């Protein structure tokens, strides 16, 4: 959490909890719990990247958390289209419709 987010969370807690002060660790844990409830679990892949570049990876992860939802959809679409390379457009549509039917039936 950024310092601004911690201060904002602290102010919100004071307003909602009758001024009861919480530590920064408690605020950070509450924020983690709130985000986990919204977005599900998350992890950093230990050993996936060189520890020398760990801060760059973590900064990138933090930036990715704040991407516009439309950009996320574009990224998903791009990844999906890479999987359909070489397929004819009509065949891609059939594959998608078949997958959708299977998911709806099960």
60 and 73 in a single domain? The answer is no
C-alpha span between 51 and 49 (Å, rounded): 6
Q: List pLDDT tens digits, range 74-91.
A: 888 888 888 888 888 888
Residue range of the domain that includes 87: 69-106
pTM, rounded to two decimals = 0.32
Q: H/E/C letters for each residue in the chain?
A: CCHHHHHHHHHHHHHHCCCCCCCHHHHHHHHHHHHHHHHCCCCCCCCCCCHHHHHHHHHHHHHHCCCCHHHHHHHHHHHHHHHCCCCCHHHHHHHHHHHHHHHHHC
Q: Report pLDDT digits (tens) over 7-60.
A: 787 777 766 665 567 788 888 888 888 888 887 766 656 667 777 888 888 888
- Clarify whether residues 7 and 58 are in a common domain: yes
Same domain, 5 and 49: yes
> Do both 45 and 84 map to the same domain?
no
pLDDT tier at 72 (50, 70, 90 boundaries)? Answer: confident
Number of domains in the chain: 2
Identify whether residues 24 and 39 lie together within a single domain.
Answer: yes
Specify the pLDDT at position 85: 86
Residue 58 sits in the same domain as residue 82: no
pLDDT of residue 43: 62
């Amino acid at each position: 959490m950024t310092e601004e987010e911690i201060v904002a969370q602290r102010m919100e807690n004071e307003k909602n909890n009758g001024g009861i002060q919480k530590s920064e660790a408690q605020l950070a844990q509450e924020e983690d719990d709130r985000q986990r409830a919204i977005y599900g679990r998350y992890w950093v892949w230990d050993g996936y990247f060189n520890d020398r570049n760990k801060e760059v990876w973590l900064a990138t992860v933090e930036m990715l958390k704040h991407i516009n939802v439309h950009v996320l959809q574009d990224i998903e679409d791009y990844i999906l289209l890479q999987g359909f390379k070489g397929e004819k457009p009509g065949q891609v549509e059939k594959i998608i419709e078949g997958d959708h039917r299977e998911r709806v039936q099960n």
